[in-house]
């Protein structure tokens, strides 16, 4: 039986029961395969911009005998996917800026009935900022630890409300209210990255002070989680 790691398991957790799913940047195709094997979804479109990963997905789908309920599509982002193909759309394992640009190029995602499940590998802060400023609501966000690394997964849908995106929200999202070990570890990893960034700024400048202040705020969250 196929087993997902913690990162893909968390993506799977956010997918609604009985939906049609689009998995953008599917690579091996494990997420739609697992969801089909576990009868959580009715149908899937697995898309990738490269032929190699798509072939890999196809052969895994044959191996797990789910080919009747999934189609593979060569597609740059959601270019070759239509609104009717998917209720829930997963974009996992890609950079936050790339995910933001793929959303931006797909106007039909501005639909309150569609759920986006987003798992940025890098620049999660850029993705959160894009979502806030473009009418997308992060309805839930959770962190996980997989093979010693921390990841966040966001459950997002469009509601048309343009939101402010203060620094703390940009870097911690709604994880600031989450006292789980995973969320604290995620925020800790973010502070470590920010400390490296701080070294590139001149002490006393506005940029330096705002990053230093953010690190202090985030460090307080970690301490609160340990109480």
Ligand X SMILES: C[S@@+](CC[C@H](N)C(=O)[O-])C[C@H]1O[C@@H](n2cnc3c(N)ncnc32)[C@H](O)[C@@H]1O
Q: Which is nearer to ligand X, 99 or 214 (CB)?
A: 99
Among 16, 50, 65, 193, binds ligand X (CB under 6 A): 50
**Residue 98 host element (H or E):** helix 96-104
Q: Which span (90-98, 167-175, 205-213, 219-227) binds ligand X, by CB under 6 A? A: 90-98
Q: Which is nearer to ligand X, 78 or 187 (CB)?
A: 78
- 150 near ligand X, judged by CB under 6 A: no
121 vs 38, 137, 170, CA distance in Å? 26, 20, 15
- 27 near ligand X, judged by CB under 6 A: yes
- 93 near ligand X, judged by CB under 6 A: yes
- Separation between Cα atoms, residue 21 and residue 109, nearest integer Å: 13
Residue 101 CA from chain centroid, whole number: 13
- Separation between Cα atoms, residue 62 and residue 169, nearest integer Å: 42
Q: Which is nearer to ligand X, 12 or 47 (CB)?
A: 47
- Separation between Cα atoms, residue 46 and residue 44, nearest integer Å: 6
Q: Are 45 and 81 in contact (CB under 8 A)?
A: yes
- 70 near ligand X, judged by CB under 6 A: no
Among 55, 62, 76, 207, binds ligand X (CB under 6 A): 76
- 156 near ligand X, judged by CB under 6 A: no
- 94 near ligand X, judged by CB under 6 A: yes
Show the binding pattern over residues 97-136: x = contacts ligand X (CB under 6 A), - = does not.
-----x----------------------------------
The nearest distance, CB 143 to ligand X, in angstroms, is 15
Number of residues located near ligand X, criterion CB under 6 A: 16
94 vs 26, 49, 98, 122, 138, CA distance in Å? 10, 12, 7, 7, 18
- 141 near ligand X, judged by CB under 6 A: no
- DSSP string over 180-207: SHHHHHHHHHHHHHHHHHHHTS-TTSHH
The nearest distance, CB 11 to ligand X, in angstroms, is 7
Closest CA relative to residue 14, chosen from 183, 174, 138:
138
The nearest distance, CB 57 to ligand X, in angstroms, is 9
Interaction site with ligand X (CB under 6 A): 8, 24-27, 47-50, 53, 76-77, 92-94, 102
């Amino acid at each position: 039986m196929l087993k997902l790691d913690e990162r893909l398991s968390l993506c799977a957790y956010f997918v609604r029961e009985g939906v049609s799913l689009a998995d953008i940047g599917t690579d091996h195709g494990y997420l739609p395969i697992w969801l089909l094997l576990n009868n959580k979804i009715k149908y899937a479109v697995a898309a990738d911009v490269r032929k190699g990963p798509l072939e890999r997905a196809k052969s895994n789908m044959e191996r797990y005998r789910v080919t009747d309920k999934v189609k593979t599509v060569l597609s740059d982002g959601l270019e070759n996917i239509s609104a009717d193909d998917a209720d829930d759309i997963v974009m996992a394992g890609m950079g936050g800026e790339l995910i933001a640009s793929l959303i931006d190029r797909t106007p039909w995602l501005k639909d309150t009935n569609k759920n986006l499940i987003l798992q940025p590998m890098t620049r999660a802060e850029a993705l959160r900022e894009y979502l806030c400023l473009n009418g997308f609501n992060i309805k839930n966000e959770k962190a996980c630890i997989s093979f010693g690394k921390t990841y966040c997964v966001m459950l997002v849908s469009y509601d048309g409300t343009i939101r402010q995106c203060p620094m703390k929200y940009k870097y911690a999202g709604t994880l600031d209210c989450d006292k789980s070990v995973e969320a604290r570890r995620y925020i800790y990893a973010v502070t470590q990255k920010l400390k490296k960034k701080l070294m590139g700024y001149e002490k006393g400048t506005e940029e330096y002070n705002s990053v230093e202040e953010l690190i202090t705020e985030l460090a307080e969250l970690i301490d609160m989680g340990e109480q």
